[in-house]
Each structure stands twice: as C-alpha cells, then as structure tokens.
C-alpha cells in the first residue's frame, strides 16, 4: 500500500489515557503531509525529467549509431572508390603500354621494310647503272664502228684512249 499525503492527514490514532497531545500530533501530521506532498511532487518532477532525459539519451544514442553507420558507409564508399580508381588507372596504364609496344613493333617493322626497300632500290640502281654503262658503251662502239672510227684515229690521236669512257661514267654518276 502506498501512502498519500491525504492518508497522512486523515490518519487517526486511538485515544489512550496517557497518550500524546492530540494537537501536537495533528500539527505534526499536517507538517509531514505537506512535506510528503512536496517530496512526491519533486519525485514526480524528477521522474518526468528523467524520462525526458532517457528519451533524449535514446535519441542521441540512435543518432550516434546512425552517424557511425553513415561514417562507416562513407569510409567503405571512399575505399571502394579509391580501389576502383586504382584499378582504372592500372587498366589505362596497361592499355597505354600495350599501345606503345604495338606502335614500337609497327615502327620497327616499317623501319625494316624501309631498309629493305632502300637496299632493293640501291641494288636496282646499281644494276641499272651497270646496264646503262654497258648499253651506252656498246652503243658508242657501234656508233664508232659505223662512222669509221679508224679514219678519225688518224686525225685525232686522243680518240680511243679511254677518255670518252670516263665521260660516260661521270654522266651516270650525276644521275
């Protein structure tokens, strides 16, 4: 049974002959009743404030959990983003290296092909020059034979000494 201030006020005691002064007891009970009522009111206020504080604490704890969860998610997202960026960078570098190797190999192939073409062209040039020399020399000999070169030997002693062949070689070198 819980005691209320009204219970204290209305409490009556048996009257005995040598008992306490009823006025003193009544005034003391009145004073206790008032004090008890104040105490109950204070306890009620404290309980209300405690409930409010517990609600606020529960809200703060929930907010703290939410913030921790958000922080963890942000860290995970950040970590995933960094890992993704690293992987992307590695892929880009790998592709760039592959393309560079392909370009280098293609350049090497083209260089080899150009060198082969230059060599082929030089051989063809040398062959052509040799053939032209032979052709021109044979044509000169033919011309000389037709003009009767023997008669000219007598008039011009410088002919037939091979100087005319050097002129053909110089013409071909200029080509």
**pLDDT values of the chain reduced to their tens digit, one per residue, 175 residues:** 577 778 777 777 777 777 777 788 888 888 888 888 899 899 999 999 999 999 999 999 999 999 999 999 999 999 999 999 999 999 999 999 999 999 999 999 999 999 999 999 999 999 999 998 898 988 888 888 888 745 555 555 555 555 555 565 666 566 6
The model carries a pTM of: 0.42
Range of the domain at 160: 5-174
Q: CA-CA distance, 87 to 95, in Å (whole number)?
A: 12
pLDDT at 143: 84
pLDDT at 8: 77
pLDDT at 35: 87
pLDDT at 146: 82
Residue written as token pair 């071909």: 172
Q: How many domains, in total, are found in the chain?
A: 1
pLDDT at 27: 84
């Amino acid at each position: 049974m819980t005691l209320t201030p009204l219970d204290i006020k209305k409490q009556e005691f048996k009257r005995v002959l040598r008992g306490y002064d009823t006025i003193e007891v009544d005034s003391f009970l009145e004073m206790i009743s008032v004090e008890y009522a104040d105490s109950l009111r204070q306890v009620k206020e404290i309980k209300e404030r405690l409930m409010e504080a517990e609600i606020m604490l529960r809200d703060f704890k929930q907010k703290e959990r939410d913030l921790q969860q958000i922080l963890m998610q942000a860290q995970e997202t950040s970590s995933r983003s960094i890992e993704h960026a690293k992987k992307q960078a590695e892929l880009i570098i790998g592709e760039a290296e592959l393309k560079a190797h392909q370009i280098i190999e293609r350049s090497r192939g083209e260089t080899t092909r150009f060198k082969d073409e230059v060599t082929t062209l030089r051989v063809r040039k040398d062959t052509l020059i040799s053939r032209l020399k032979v052709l021109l020399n044979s044509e000169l000999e033919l011309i000389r034979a037709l003009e009767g070169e023997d008669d000219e030997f007598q008039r011009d002693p410088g002919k037939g000494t091979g100087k005319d062949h050097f002129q053909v070689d110089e013409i071909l070198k200029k080509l």
